[in-house]
Amino acid sequence: MIPSRRSRRSPARNIGYRDTASPSAASTARMRREQRKHQSSLLSSGSQRSKAPERLKPRSKAVRTRTMGTPPPVYMRGGMANLPVQPRKLGAAPKRRYNVALSVPGAELHLPAIPVLHMSWRMVSGVLTALLLALALYFWNSPKYRINWVEVVGLQRLTGNDINTVVNLAGQPIFAVNPQQILQDLQQAFPDMMNISVKISLPAKVVVKAQERQPVITWSQDGREQWVDMEGMAFPPRSNAGKLIVVEAKNSPPMIEKSSPMDLRFLSPEMVGVILRMAIKAPKNTPLLYDGEHGLGWKDAFNCQVYFGLDFRDMEQKLLVYQALANKLQKDGVQPNLISVEYLHAPYYRLER
């Protein structure tokens, strides 16, 4: 097509011409064709590069997080589209939601969501531990479980005040009582107690049951008096025990081999038996004498000390020898201070004091 002459006019002749119309359809189509060519050129160049293995670029953490945290689409009922919807955070515990329908069509009242609790063994054990600690504190501090008085059963000379002073349990919780410790304290403080038992019961009751040793001998030495029972146990005098055999000692009795520190024997059972038999042979209402060198004896009617040793097997013959020697000394007018028949075949007497 040959161009027209009007198109070859100089620009000076077209000074007053202004194109104010919008782009025509032809120009628009031309622009689209150019865009397609440009895209096809880019695709052709990209196909050549695609022969090499493509390396996928890792997506950034922020992009992954944003993609995973994108909430699912929410559909709202008519008339409620303007309400804000907050997506649930990842990792948060699910909550149980309750909705209440209102009188307005399509409107609901959303109540506060309640978290859904999943009970685990750790949570259960923690709750049980807390409950046990609370119960322990309650029982420990409750006045209902504190001891006011220790009851005493089976004692006559000892009183309840004596026992409570030693055990000292007033005001203490019943759970802190140690029966074995109470037993040891009572045995050390009161040797005249035997067969001791301690019974504890809730809410706050402690009962001490025991028996008292029955004394048979009063051992007097260096101005100190103590009672001795049939087993040789010595203990302080208490109240009135009736008539006892009195032994006035110049020295301590023979040592006893004890089996344990709790063994509080003072005399051997054999020596207790000798004292009881010797008291039968002694003059009435006369105390027995004990000397570490000469043994047991008494004072006769002439104020003479008579000793027979600690062997009671030949006591009848020793009494006959003593009687014969005393009669001879009295006939001769001799007033001895001491007569010893400890050895049956070698009796002797002393005049000096």
SS3 227: strand
Q: In this prediction, what percent of the chain has a pLDDT beyond 70?
A: 73
- Reported as a pLDDT band with limits 50, 70 and 90, residue 29 is confident
Q: Which residues, 6+ apart, have CB-to-CB distance to 250 below 8 Å?
A: 221, 289, 290, 291, 292
**Residue 26 exposed, middle or buried by CB count within 10 Å (0-12, 13-18, 19+):** exposed
For residue 343, is pLDDT > 80? yes
Please check whether the domain covering 215-350 is classified as CATH 1.10.760: no
Give pLDDT, residue 64: 47
Give pLDDT, residue 152: 93
Give pLDDT, residue 52: 47
197-256 pLDDT tens trace:
999 998 999 999 999 999 999 999 999 999 999 999 999 998 888 889 999 999 999 888
Q: What angle do CA 111, 115, 117 make, to 5 degrees?
A: 145
- Mean pLDDT to the nearest integer, 304-318: 91
Q: Picking from 41-45, 130-134, 167-171, 305-309, which range would have the lowest pLDDT averaged per residue? A: 41-45
Tokens of 123: 């949570």
- Reported as a pLDDT band with limits 50, 70 and 90, residue 44 is low
Give pLDDT, residue 256: 84
Q: Picking from 56-70, 109-123, 130-144, 296-310, which range would have the lowest pLDDT averaged per residue? A: 56-70
Give pLDDT, residue 265: 86
Q: Picking from 34-38, 98-102, 134-138, 206-210, which range would have the lowest pLDDT averaged per residue? A: 98-102
56-81 pLDDT tens trace:
455 544 444 444 555 555 445 555 55
For residue 49, is pLDDT > 70? no
- Mean pLDDT to the nearest integer, 153-174: 91
> Do 71 and 87 contact (CB within 8 A), yes or no?
yes
Q: Could you give the CA distance from residue 218 to residue 222 in angstroms, rounded to a whole number?
A: 13
Question: Which residues on adjacent β-strands are paired with residue 288?
Answer: 247, 298
Residue (of 247, 269, 243, 239) closest to 256 by Cα position = 269
pTM: 0.59
Range(s) for CATH 3.10.20.310 in the chain? 143-212
For residue 159, is pLDDT > 80? yes
Q: Could you give the CA distance from residue 342 to residue 76 in angstroms, rounded to a whole number?
A: 124
- Mean pLDDT to the nearest integer, 160-172: 92
Average pLDDT, the chain: 79
Q: What angle do CA 235, 229, 295 make, to 5 degrees?
A: 95
Cis bond before residue 237 (omega within 30° of 0): no
Range(s) for CATH 3.40.50 in the chain? 215-350
Residue (of 185, 159, 207, 178) closest to 262 by Cα position = 185
- Reported as a pLDDT band with limits 50, 70 and 90, residue 37 is confident
- Mean pLDDT to the nearest integer, 181-192: 91
Q: Which residues, 6+ apart, have CB-to-CB distance to 173 below 8 Å?
A: 139, 140, 141, 145, 146, 147, 204
- Reported as a pLDDT band with limits 50, 70 and 90, residue 178 is very high
> Do 292 and 342 contact (CB within 8 A), yes or no?
no
> Do 186 and 193 contact (CB within 8 A), yes or no?
yes
Q: How far, in Å, are 30, 32, 56 from residue 43 at the CA level?
A: 20, 17, 19
245-296 pLDDT tens trace:
999 999 999 888 877 766 778 999 999 999 999 999 999 889 999 999 999 9
Return the residue matching tokens 């992009």: 63
- Mean pLDDT to the nearest integer, 307-317: 90
Give pLDDT, residue 5: 46
> Do 267 and 254 contact (CB within 8 A), yes or no?
no
Q: Is 276 left (phi over 0), alpha (psi -120 to 50) or beta?
A: alpha
Give pLDDT, residue 24: 61
Please check whether the domain covering 143-212 is classified as CATH 3.10.20.310: yes
Q: Which residues, 6+ apart, have CB-to-CB distance to 288 below 8 Å?
A: 245, 246, 247, 248, 275, 278, 279, 282, 296, 297, 298
Q: Picking from 46-60, 126-140, 191-205, which range would have the lowest pLDDT averaged per residue? A: 46-60
